Amino acid sequence: MLVVVVRTLILYLIVVFIMRIMGKRQIGQLQPFELVIAIMISELAALPMQDIGIPLINGIIPILTLLFAQITLSFIGLKNPHVRAIICGRPTILIQNGKINEAQLRKEMYSLNDLLEQLRIKDIQNIADVEFALLETNGQLSVIPKSQKRPVTPQDLNISTQYEGLSMDIIIDGDISYENLKLANLDINWLKDTLSKFGINNPKDVLFASLDSEGNLYYQVKERGNK
Q: Tell me the pLDDT of the chain (227 aa) as tens digits.
A: 778 888 888 888 888 888 787 766 655 566 777 778 888 888 888 888 878 888 888 888 988 898 888 888 888 887 887 877 787 788 999 999 999 999 999 999 999 999 999 999 999 989 999 999 999 887 889 999 998 888 888 888 888 888 777 889 999 999 999 999 999 899 999 999 999 999 999 999 999 999 988 888 999 999 875 55
**Which helix (H) or strand (E) segment is 143 a member of?**
strand 141-145
Same domain, 139 and 189: no
Same domain, 73 and 142: no
Same domain, 96 and 78: no
Q: 61 with 44: CB under 8 angstroms?
A: no
The residue among 49, 65, 86 that closes a domain is: 86
Same domain, 35 and 54: yes
Question: 92 has which bridge partners?
Answer: 135
pLDDT for 225 equals 59
Q: At what angle do helices 32-50 and 57-79 cross, to 10 degrees?
A: 170
Residue 156 is assigned to a structural domain of this protein: no
pLDDT for 205 equals 92
Same domain, 20 and 69: yes
Residue 160 is assigned to a structural domain of this protein: no
CATH number of domain containing 216? 3.30.240.20
pLDDT for 35 equals 78
Residue 41 is assigned to a structural domain of this protein: yes
pTM of the full structure: 0.66
Q: 169 with 207: CB under 8 angstroms?
A: no
pLDDT for 29 equals 60
Same domain, 8 and 61: yes
pLDDT for 135 equals 93
Question: 132 has which bridge partners?
Answer: 96, 144
Q: 31 with 88: CB under 8 angstroms?
A: yes
Domain count, the chain: 3
pLDDT for 227 equals 54
The residue among 35, 58, 86 that closes a domain is: 86
Same domain, 188 and 211: yes
Residue 73 is assigned to a structural domain of this protein: yes
- Give which of 124, 120, 176 is closest to 150, Cα–Cα: 124
Residue 74 is assigned to a structural domain of this protein: yes
Give me the count of residues in the chain: 227
pLDDT for 129 equals 92
Residue 35 is assigned to a structural domain of this protein: yes
User: What residues contact 183, with CB distance under 8 A and at least 6 apart?
Assistant: 168
Q: 89 with 95: CB under 8 angstroms?
A: no
Same domain, 78 and 103: no
Segments forming the whole domain that contains residue 175: 168-226
Same domain, 77 and 20: yes
Residue 31 is assigned to a structural domain of this protein: yes
Same domain, 72 and 44: yes
Same domain, 79 and 96: no
Residue 154 is assigned to a structural domain of this protein: no
Q: 35 with 23: CB under 8 angstroms?
A: no
CA separation for the pair 58, 131 (Å, rounded): 52
Same domain, 104 and 28: no
Region label for 89, one of left (φ > 0), alpha (ψ between -120 and 50) or beta (otherwise): left
pLDDT for 25 equals 60
